[in-house]
Amino acid sequence: MPCRLSIGRGRNWLSAWYQRSYPRLISGFMGRTYALETPKLVGHEVTVSGWVNSRRDHGGVIFIDLRDHTGIVQLAIHPEDKEAFAVADKCRDEFVIKAEGKIIERSAETKNENLPTGGVEILTLSITVLNSSKPLPFQVAHGHGEQADINEDLRLKYRFLDLRREKMQIMLKKRHQMIQTIHHYMTEHGFIEITTPILTSSSPEGARDFLVPSRLHPGKFYALPQAPQQFKQLLMTGGVPKYYQIAPCFRDEDPRADRSPGEFYQLDLEIAFADKDEVVFNEMEPLFVELTEKFAGKKVWQKPFPRIPYLEAMDLYGSDKPDLRFDMKMVNLTEDLKDTKFFVFGNAIKSGGAVKAICCQGGAKMSRSQIDELTEMVKKEGAGGLAYIVCGQPDSDIVQAPGLPNQEKQATGLHYGADNEPITLRSPILKFLSADEIQSILNKTRAVPGDIIFFGADQKNIVNKVLGKLRDKLGDMFGLKDPSVVAWAWITDFPMFEYSETEKRWDFMHNPFSMPQGGLEALNTQKPDEVRAYQYDIIANGLELSSGAIRNYKPEIMYKAFEICGYSKETVDEKFGGMIRAFEYGAPPHGGFAPGIDRMLMLFQNEPNIREVIAFPKNGSAEDVMMGAPGTVEEKQLKELHIKLDLPKKPLNNR
């Protein structure tokens, strides 16, 4: 009987990958033949091993789809082979079996063109059950869909089963392939792979550190590294020209869809004598291009990558990680509306705020419920509401867009859009705006019939945040994010400091080891919020892949930078004494960054959830439900470490 299992493109990709990666599979292992090899061995007697993907009984003949790491091959067991038939009759999904038999071609009408091995089957003479399986908590067999409705905690509790699913098998192979590409590139470009310590010291910025108590030094703690920052700078001081590693990093952070709690891996690198960010950009852009085009098979949006100053990114996109696959920039209307009678806009401007707008092309057909949904979204981001103007043509369907109240379906006289064609407008706010103000809005936003204009009016930072979130949402709603394109960019010139309202002091905005633009003179003469750092991010498609910087390698500048943030010279010496001492002995200028491995794979695989690209992730509550971590330890262990617990009376809520 035919095997009508349709497994889609994923199985073909896996097969092709194995053919490229293991061209000598034919040798097998201890006489074992892999599923992918079987079409080449028609007429041969073979031994195959793997999992029971599915079992079917058709009129006395039992068919088993046997799955190994290369693919699926069909076993045919006939009643005449009584012993094999009896064993096959007891086999169930995910049993581990070994089968011996002869490879034969299937008849034309029973071939499965969707399977690389669909033209053959194994006439099975012997089956051995190597291990049985309990009833499955969820279906894992390839070809049964991705089981998107399975509870995530259940999948993670049985991750060893979840990893057998085709999607996860592909992801693991893709991760391996991406990392191998990185290793090859870094070696070819003169980088030296060096591992750095896992047990290190906590830093003043260590509120998110994982601490490890020392048994040999009671009362003292190691910290797991949030990043190998100090060590890689010490390597530069030690004469290493170019360093890299696929580094494990540990941060006690709250989970997010694009952030794995607890631990993650990054391509950590540093380049000696990099006195300008251009050195790092020029060195690493080709790697991202290669990964995008050759590994992921996608198109790079722009080469070389755009370099956008931080303040410009916030002003135009409302984000320091904008998705550049679509335009929709924010337009500042503050000067144009400075004398407006519309109190919402006028009050914002008089209080020192701003009025900005974004124009969504083709958005005029948006329904009222969609506009209400967007309004609720921006309110959660701190906006009071969402003003808008719908643009249409007289007597067009757009003018009579469904769902809009009658009072909004009103013309406002003759205006002209960006194409210089007459345009008809509808909005509750039109009656508060003068004809000149309306025309100025149309000119600035370059609106045409069929568009919708959204406004933000508040303090500038709130307007940027709100319209930035709105822009991103509109990109999703209107399908503007082409999944076949990766829009890389560098965000540059970050502020060195930001004021912490909670702690009432200045703090480092990003990396405290960044070199301030202008050096010591800038720290001495400029206000903290005016100082820019040689700090940069690499972003793509709305994801931040990494922060980086040209480093501060001069002790006097480092002392001053930490002083602005409230740290004494003694504290800096205590926490960073090793690095300070090293810099006193001739440190070269240097710089680098560390793009996240997990986020890069998310980007290339169009995967929105970071847990889908990690073999053994924590769940949304930062727990390992498979291994039971975090867990309690015995009192004996605590005594040995001289630790007493001071637990809250009530359990803390999950984050």
The model's pLDDT over 130-169, given as tens digits with 9 standing for 90+, comes to 999 999 999 888 765 555 578 899 999 999 999 999 999 9
CA distance 67 to 73: 7
- Residue 43 has a CB neighbour count (10 Å cut-off) of 8
- Class for the domain spanning 171-306+489-635: alpha beta
Interacting residues of 368 by C-beta distance below 8 A, sequence separation 6+: 402, 403, 404, 405
Phi, psi of 330 (to 5 degrees): -75, 145
- Helix orientation angle between 555-564 and 569-583, rounded to the nearest 10 degrees: 160
Terminal C-alpha separation, the chain: 54
Residue type, 333: L
Average pLDDT of the segment spanning 388-394: 85
pLDDT of residue 7: 38
Interacting residues of 47 by C-beta distance below 8 A, sequence separation 6+: 31, 32, 33, 98, 99, 100
CA distance 404 to 400: 8
Helix, strand, coil shares, percent, the chain, to 5: 35, 25, 40
Query: What does pLDDT average to over the chain?
Result: 89
pLDDT of residue 149: 73
Alpha-carbon torsion, ordered 133, 136, 139, 141, to 10 deg: 0
| pLDDT(563) > 70 | yes
pLDDT of residue 425: 92
Residue 54: helix, strand or coil by DSSP? strand
pLDDT of residue 15: 56
pLDDT of residue 8: 41
Q: Which two tokens stand for residue 257?
A: 């869809």
pLDDT of residue 342: 95
Q: Which two tokens stand for residue 359?
A: 């124009």
CA distance 152 to 157: 9
DSSP state of 552: -
Give 409 or 130, the one with higher predicted confidence: 130
Residues 369-379 as b or e (16 or more Cβ within 10 Å = b):
eebeebbeebe
DSSP bridge pairs for 104: 121
Q: Which two tokens stand for residue 445?
A: 């936003």
Interacting residues of 96 by C-beta distance below 8 A, sequence separation 6+: 49, 50, 51, 52, 129, 130, 131, 132, 133
Q: Where are the domains of the chain?
A: 8-140, 171-306+489-635, 326-480
pLDDT of residue 330: 97
Residue 394: helix, strand or coil by DSSP? coil
Candidates 286, 61, 11; CA nearest to 167 is 11
Q: Which of 36-45, 197-206, 630-639 has the lowest mean pLDDT?
A: 197-206
pLDDT of residue 369: 93
- Class for the domain spanning 8-140: mainly beta
Q: Which two tokens stand for residue 417?
A: 């859009």
Interacting residues of 179 by C-beta distance below 8 A, sequence separation 6+: 246, 597
| pLDDT(23) > 60 | no
**pLDDT tens string 283-321:** 999 999 999 999 999 999 999 999 999 999 999 999 999
CA distance 623 to 137: 20
Write down the number of H helices and E strands in the chain: 17, 25
pLDDT of residue 651: 61
pLDDT of residue 19: 56
Contact, 401 vs 392, CB < 8 A?
yes
Average pLDDT of the segment spanning 514-537: 96
CA distance 408 to 400: 10
Task: Judge residue 108's burial from the number of C-beta atoms within 10 Å of its C-beta, 0-12 exposed, 13-18 middle, 19 or more buried.
Answer: exposed
pLDDT of residue 410: 44
Q: Which two tokens stand for residue 112?
A: 């499965």
Q: How far is CA 264 from CA 141, 156, 374, 597, in A?
A: 29, 17, 34, 8
Q: Which two tokens stand for residue 172?
A: 């693991």
| pLDDT(193) > 90 | yes
Task: Judge residue 20's burial from the number of C-beta atoms within 10 Å of its C-beta, 0-12 exposed, 13-18 middle, 19 or more buried.
Answer: exposed
pLDDT of residue 405: 42
**What is the topology classification, in CATH, of domain 326-480?**
Gyrase A; domain 2 (3.30.1360)
Tokens 């003169």 belong to residue: 190
Contact, 114 vs 5, CB < 8 A?
yes
Interacting residues of 321 by C-beta distance below 8 A, sequence separation 6+: 491, 537, 539, 542, 543, 544
Contact, 463 vs 364, CB < 8 A?
no
Give 462 or 576, the one with higher predicted confidence: 462
CA distance 204 to 570: 12
CA distance 361 to 303: 26
Q: Which of 92-106, 230-244, 335-349, 389-403 has the lowest mean pLDDT?
A: 389-403
pLDDT of residue 538: 97
Contact, 268 vs 186, CB < 8 A?
no
pLDDT of residue 254: 80
Candidates 117, 161, 165, 164; CA nearest to 145 is 165
Radius of gyration of the chain (CA): 31
pLDDT of residue 147: 55
- Label residue 339 by pLDDT band (50, 70, 90): very high
Provide the CA 177 distance to its chain's centre, in angstroms: 18
